[in-house]
Amino acid sequence: MRLTEEEERLLARRSRSARMKRSTYVRMLIRDEPFVTAADVLADVPKRVGDVRLRRVAQTVRNCLLDSSFLIDLLNEMADAREGPAISWLKRNEKSRLWISPVTVAEVLEGAADPQTVGAYLARYSWQAIHRVHAEKVALRQMRSSKRLGENDAWQAAGSGVHGRRHRRP
C-alpha cells in the first residue's frame, strides 16, 4: 500500500510526537484501537495493570478534555494495579467522550519513566488541537481576570471552552 505525500507527512509528524520510529508507530496503530470513550480506556486497563513503565517520577454523553493530573493519576493507578480516583471516575463516566491536548501530552511525557511507552498510550486518545481561537480565548481570559491561571491551565481551559468540553481534573 502506498501513502500519499500528505499521509506520509502526517505519519512522520505523529510518529515524532509519539517519540517512535515510523515502523514502530505503524505497528502500534495496527494493533491498538484508538480511545474514544472512557469505556475504551477501561477495557484497556487490564492489559496495562502492573506495567511500571506507565508510572510518572450520571451517565450522559459528555465531552471531557482530560488534564495531565488526571492522566498521571490514571497511569500510576494502572502501574500499581489499584483502583483510585481516576479509574473510579472513568467507571462513573463510561459514556463520556475523552480528549487530550498537546499541553496534556507535554506535561505527562515530561515526567514519564518510559516516554515511548507512555507516548504510545497517549496516542490512542482523541486529539484536541490548539488553534488561533484558543489563543484569543487565553489572552481574553488572562487580561480580564484579577487571578491569572497558570499558562498551561489557561490553554486547557480555553480548549475545553471553545469546543464545549469539560476540563477534567482529578
pLDDT, tens digit (0-9, with 9 covering 90-100), for 89-112: 999 888 888 989 888 888 899 889
Mean pLDDT, residues 48-52: 86
- The tens digit of pLDDT for each residue in 130-160 reads 767 766 776 676 666 666 666 556 556 656 5
Rounded Cα distance, 116 and 19, in Å: 6
Rounded Cα distance, 97 and 66, in Å: 10
**Which residues does 84 contact at the CB level (< 8 Å), separation at least 6?**
73, 76, 77
pLDDT score for 16: 85
pTM confidence score: 0.56
Q: Where are the domains of the chain?
A: 1-31, 34-168
What CATH number matches the domain at 34-168, 3.40.50.1010, 3.90.1150.10, 3.40.50.720, 2.60.120.10?
Answer: 3.40.50.1010
Q: Which amino acid is at 132?
A: R
Neighbours of 12 (CB within 10 A): 12
SS3 content of the chain, % helix, strand, coil (to 5): 60, 10, 35
Q: Which three cell numbers stand for residue 120?
A: 504510545
